[in-house]
Amino acid sequence: MEEHTQDRREIAFLHSGEFPRGDSDDSEDHQPNESSEEHRHESSIKEVDFFSAKSQPYDDIGHVRTTTTIVGSSGFNDDLVMVNSCHGTSSDDGDDKTKTKTQIIRLKLELARLHEENYKLKHLLDEISESYNNLQRRVLLVRQTQVEGLHKQHEDIPQAGSSQALEDMNNEIAATTLKRRSPDDVDDRDMHQGRSPKTPRLDQNKSNNPDEQQNPHDQLPFRKARVSVRARSDATSVNDGCQWRKYGQKMAKGNPCPRAYYRCTMAVGCPVRKQVQRCAEDTTILTTTYEGNHNHPLPPSATAMAATTSAAAAMLLSGSTTSNLHQTLSSPSATSSSSFYNNFPYTSTIATLSASAPFPTITLDLTNPPRPLQPPPQFLSQYGPAAFLPNANQIRSINNNNNPQLLLPNLLGPQALPRDMVDSVRAAIAMDPNFTAALAAAISNIIGGGNNDNNNNDIINDNKVDAKSGGSSNGDSPQLPQSCTTFSTN
């Protein structure tokens, strides 16, 4: 019953021509026509036009254009082509039928060509993502090395000056980062070296393992820095696009709600873990703490959160190397990592660093009231809708002792990823039939009942993966107000 209603909405939506379009190669179809027809539909299109700022869903006479095939392999889109092709051709004239058939054939060929192109682009995206992650890792490892050097320097030569407090804080973080080593770090290394996790650990700095000596950076993962995400949710955990397996649960002191422990199961030996716990003061708030970097490619829906947490962790660690985060993050001549910062999606304008927490922790607070905004098409095209959290307008780290705040520049700078990358990401997202379905459902929901407070929940439930099925516990989404995580492709 519910599904039928949903289907009708989708069909109505498709007929309406308001389905967002991707950039087609047929540029002649994109006439820069600012017709009043379009403005009439603008209010309902604007918030879902993920791919193109120059979408022109209508032709000169108001018919749906037959080239509105933005996505890939599902029958859904074939139907779209068929529907559109038939729309407005009610004549019984045989010539028209022949023309229509020819047009259909041509469009199918074009669709096949686009599928092939999307396939290539998806592969390209995978390669880019992998090299991008590797590069990111390297840059951050270099910074980690700098932390070590500065820390030693700091021990030898106590610093003075007006920024003493900040330097002390940063160095304390660095010291904590380098000194502490959680037990799972052993696990990570042990997993890589085939050693039993139970093997007693000797002094890591004096390891006899040549691999460790040759690759000290490998022993400095970013497990130390943690990134917490606070979001309102009735679900047991947030849907961040990754697959997690629960491996423990504990009652934490001072909180009646148990803390659940998850580890990433998307790849064997992935060191990433997360803790999920409800806030004691407000049980509707779910705090998810991420630790570590993924050692495997991530699906587009997971990239946003992973990039954000990695960037936040990196910011934390890089902040320990220098008090000048402004310079680090905003310098146009900085390394690629700054580009990374400039593009990470959950960014905000304020961050505070804590030296008091056992682990340096940065918290992304998504529980604050949303600000009205329109996602810039450039941004959406870079990260996809799943990456866009309208309420992620604050990054706040745990600040137990009134540490000074470091003002960061707006990290959503104008710098964009290379155009090729943007197009690749766009193609990959558009190719994903799950995304198509989720998008269609979401749009149908918007059209069908924009004032329904449960809209997001409905979408969330549609995407919810039974924790018991398929072996994944990633299915629950937070109730992020207006959160586009509801467009998750999972």
Other beta carbons within 10 Å of 203:
6
d(CA 108, CA 318): 51
Dihedral sign computed on CA atoms, order 50, 363, 339, 329: positive
Least gap, CB of 296 to DNA (angstroms): 14
Contact 329, 238 (CB under 8 A): no
Least gap, CB of 305 to DNA (angstroms): 18
d(CA 164, CA 156): 15
Nearer to DNA, 109 or 252 (CB): 252
Least gap, CB of 256 to DNA (angstroms): 12
d(CA 345, CA 311): 10
Strands 350-352, 395-397: pairing is unpaired
The DSSP symbol for 68 reads -
Nearer to DNA, 88 or 470 (CB): 470
Kindly state the helix (H) or strand (E) to which residue 327 belongs, with its residue range: helix 325-330
Nearer to DNA, 262 or 487 (CB): 262
Least gap, CB of 399 to DNA (angstroms): 18
Nearer to DNA, 46 or 180 (CB): 180
Dihedral sign computed on CA atoms, order 166, 169, 172, 177: negative
Least gap, CB of 197 to DNA (angstroms): 4
Nearer to DNA, 275 or 391 (CB): 275
Least gap, CB of 194 to DNA (angstroms): 14
Least gap, CB of 155 to DNA (angstroms): 18
Nearer to DNA, 18 or 172 (CB): 172
Ramachandran bin of 128, using left for φ above 0, alpha for ψ from -120 to 50, beta for the remaining angles? alpha
Contacts of 236 (CB under 8 A, 6+ apart): 260, 276, 467, 473, 476
Of 346, 353, 474, 328, the residue nearest 409 (C-alpha): 328
The DSSP symbol for 5 reads H
Other beta carbons within 10 Å of 330:
18
User: What single letter denotes the amino acid at residue 33?
Assistant: N
Written as six digits, the tokens of 116 are: 């092939």
SS3 helix, strand, coil % of the chain, rounded to 5?
45, 10, 40
Least gap, CB of 192 to DNA (angstroms): 13
Least gap, CB of 447 to DNA (angstroms): 32
Nearer to DNA, 238 or 425 (CB): 238
Nearer to DNA, 9 or 230 (CB): 230
* Residue ranges with strand state E in 13-148: none
Which residues in this chain contact DNA in the complex, by CB under 7 A?
180, 182-184, 187, 197-198, 200-201, 243-254, 259-261, 265, 273, 275, 466-469, 471-473
Nearer to DNA, 86 or 251 (CB): 251
